[in-house]
Structure 1
Amino acid sequence: MHFTGTVYRNPYWETFPLLQITQGCTHNKCKFCTMYRDVPFKLQPMEWIEEDLKEIAKVAPDASTIQLLSANPIAMTYDKLAPILEMINRYLPKMEYIYAATRVTDIRNKTVEQLKSLKEMGLREISLGIESGDDFTLERINKGYTYADILEQCHKLEDAGIDYWMTFLNGVAGREHSHAHAVNSAKIFSQCKPMLVGTGGLTLFPGTPLLKEAHRGEFTPLPEKEMLIELKTFVENLTCYCSFITHHTVSGKNLTGPDFLKRKESIIAALEREISHGDLDAMAAIRSGKRSL
């Protein structure tokens, strides 16, 4: 298999096998991330992809799911992506679900009809690293799009019938803009129809521009209690019919699962308990021990 350098797979997709079709990230400028900082974006050679599919077909000929790698493989145009999906189906004829993580901007270069075609070839579910629905925060962390872009591209996915996840990055606005980040993100997320909303807590990794800004006093990281308060504010304002996952920030007990709206009040109550009685030092220790997103 041709796995090159850093690759990322969604840990919540229990998919086997994995197929790398791109290297690096097209944007590679988010201030909180260094995952692909030294990996230039490029397409995996088609001969490598075909060789990998031949190998997969020998090991798992009945595979019905596959996850595409690396950072944002859906960035490639329809004309380049469609032949890869066709090749997957040729070598793995029982394929049903093709998954991929990607950026909001990767949907721009595809029409709804092209997205429908990709779905027919198996692209059923994607994960979008939204991080925030607040324009000030999006510009502050250099995500490369606005909340209007989020709404436009997510609605295209809905029209095409492709399921998608949205992520909220707890703490990324810092203390200075925490409340607006939480409220405005929930507002934008609630205007979309994600199958799942996931939240993660910010860790300032060595080498990230955001850590350097924190050292210069230009960014004030949230301590654990304020992270929980921000997450609670986000949950209080979120009105999506979706599943809900949270990690990085709290223990996760009673927080993760389907039917968010039915469980919303219990999630809020669990967060309130964490705010009042949680082991904040233990949470901080877990965060400080993280080495990557």
Structure 2
Amino acid sequence: MHYTGTVYRNPYEPPSPLLEITQGCSHNRCKFCNMYAGVKFQPSPMEWIEEDIKEIAAFYPETSRLQLLSADPFVLGFDRLNEICDLIHKYLPNIEIMTMAARVDNIKDKSVEELKILRDKGIVELNIGAESADDETLKSVNKGYSGQDILEQCEKLDKAGMEYWLTFLNGVGGVDHTENHALNSAKIFSEANPTVVGTGGLVLFEGTGLLALYKRGKFHPLSEKGLMEELKLFLENLDHDGRFITHHTFSMDLNNGSFNENKERILKDLQYGIDNFDMSRLTQIRNSKRTL
């Protein structure tokens, strides 16, 4: 198998083979991320992709599911993705579900009709790292799109019948943007139609722009209690019928199959954490993390 740089498997998806179709991240300029530092973005050669599909077919001939890599493989144009789908079905005829990570702007160059074709060929779900829907927060960390862009592109996915996750990066706006980050993200996420809303807490990893700004006194991260309070504000204002999940970089496991049905309990549990948890210990745990 051809794997380049960091390999990230979504831990919340059912186990499935991993097929790399791009290398690195097409943007690679977000100030909170170091996952693909030093990895040049480029599409994987079709020869490599075909070799890897054949290898998967040799070991998992009956698999019905694939996770496509790397950071945002949906950046590939429709024609290339369509060709890859056909190649996958040639060697893996039982494939029904293909998932992958995507940036919001990966969707812009694809029409609703093209999205429908890709969905019908098995690309049924995208994991979108929105991180925020507050324009000032998005600008401050160089995400490269706006809250309105999130709505517009997710509307295209809805029309095409393609499901998607949206992530909220708790704390990414720091102290300066915390309220707007929470409220505006909740507003946009509620207006969209994600099947899953996920959240993790910001970690200032080595080599990131936010860590550099923090060291110069130009970024003021939230305390552990502040992270919980920001998430509580976000969740209080979120209207979401699907799943809600928390990643390992958040200090509590609030995972639930139906957010709206369990919203009151989730908020109650979160408030208990705010009132009773040992914040100094949680801070030590966060500071010890080195990777997602």
**TM bracket, shorter-chain basis:** over 0.9
Greater alpha carbon shift after TM alignment, 30-39 vs 5-14: 5-14
Q: Distance in 1 between matches of 2:282 and 2:162?
A: 35
> Which amino acid in the other structure matches residue 152 of structure 2?
E
Deviation of the 1:102 alpha carbon: 0.9
> Which amino acid in the other structure matches residue 92 of structure 2?
L
Secondary structure, counterpart of 1:98 in structure 2? strand
Unaligned regions of 5+ residues in structure 2, if any? none
Deviation of the 1:244 alpha carbon: 0.2
Deviation of the 1:7 alpha carbon: 2.3
Q: Distance in 2 between matches of 1:81 and 1:123?
A: 9
* TM-score in terms of structure 2 length: 0.98
- Structure 2 matches for 1:68-87, cutoff 5 A? 68-87=68-87
Could you say which residue in structure 1 is the equivalent of 2:250? 249
Deviation of the 1:90 alpha carbon: 1.1
- Structure 2 matches for 1:1-293, cutoff 5 A? 1-247=1-247, 248-252=249-253, 255-293=254-292
Deviation of the 1:15 alpha carbon: 3.1
2:95–2:122 CA contact under 8 A, matched in 1: yes
Q: Distance in 2 between matches of 1:184 and 1:251?
A: 23
1:214–1:220 CA contact under 8 A, matched in 2: yes
Deviation of the 1:279 alpha carbon: 2.3
Deviation of the 1:251 alpha carbon: 2.4
Q: Distance in 2 between matches of 1:155 and 1:257?
A: 25
C-alpha distance after superposition, 1:234-260 (max 9, x if no partner)? 0000002111001222221xx211110
Runs of 4+ in 1 over 4 A off after TM superposition: none
Paired residue total = 291
2:200–2:250 CA contact under 8 A, matched in 1: yes
Q: Distance in 1 between matches of 2:38 and 2:113?
A: 35
Secondary structure, counterpart of 1:164 in structure 2? strand
C-alpha distance after superposition, 1:73-101 (max 9, x if no partner)? 00000011100011111111011100101
> Which amino acid in the other structure matches residue 249 of structure 1?
F
Unaligned regions of 5+ residues in structure 1, if any? none
1:78–1:114 CA contact under 8 A, matched in 2: yes
Q: Distance in 2 between matches of 1:251 and 1:227?
A: 11
Deviation of the 1:43 alpha carbon: 0.6
Greater alpha carbon shift after TM alignment, 95-104 vs 283-292: 283-292
2:32–2:141 CA contact under 8 A, matched in 1: yes
C-alpha distance after superposition, 1:3-29 (max 9, x if no partner)? 112222211112321000000111000
* Identity across matched positions, percent: 53
> Which amino acid in the other structure matches residue 90 of structure 1?
K
* TM-score in terms of structure 1 length: 0.98
> Which amino acid in the other structure matches residue 260 of structure 2?
L
Secondary structure, counterpart of 1:190 in structure 2? helix
> Which amino acid in the other structure matches residue 132 of structure 2?
S
2:203–2:287 CA contact under 8 A, matched in 1: yes
1:9–1:70 CA contact under 8 A, matched in 2: no
1:22–1:41 CA contact under 8 A, matched in 2: yes
Secondary structure, counterpart of 2:191 in structure 1? coil
Deviation of the 1:59 alpha carbon: 0.6
Secondary structure, counterpart of 2:166 in structure 1? strand
Considering only aligned residues, what root-mean-square deviation do their CA atoms show, in Å? 0.8
> Which amino acid in the other structure matches residue 148 of structure 1?
Q
Q: Distance in 2 between matches of 1:87 and 1:15?
A: 21
Secondary structure, counterpart of 1:95 in structure 2? coil
1:249–1:283 CA contact under 8 A, matched in 2: no
Deviation of the 1:286 alpha carbon: 2.0
2:4–2:24 CA contact under 8 A, matched in 1: no
Q: Distance in 1 between matches of 2:159 and 2:40?
A: 33
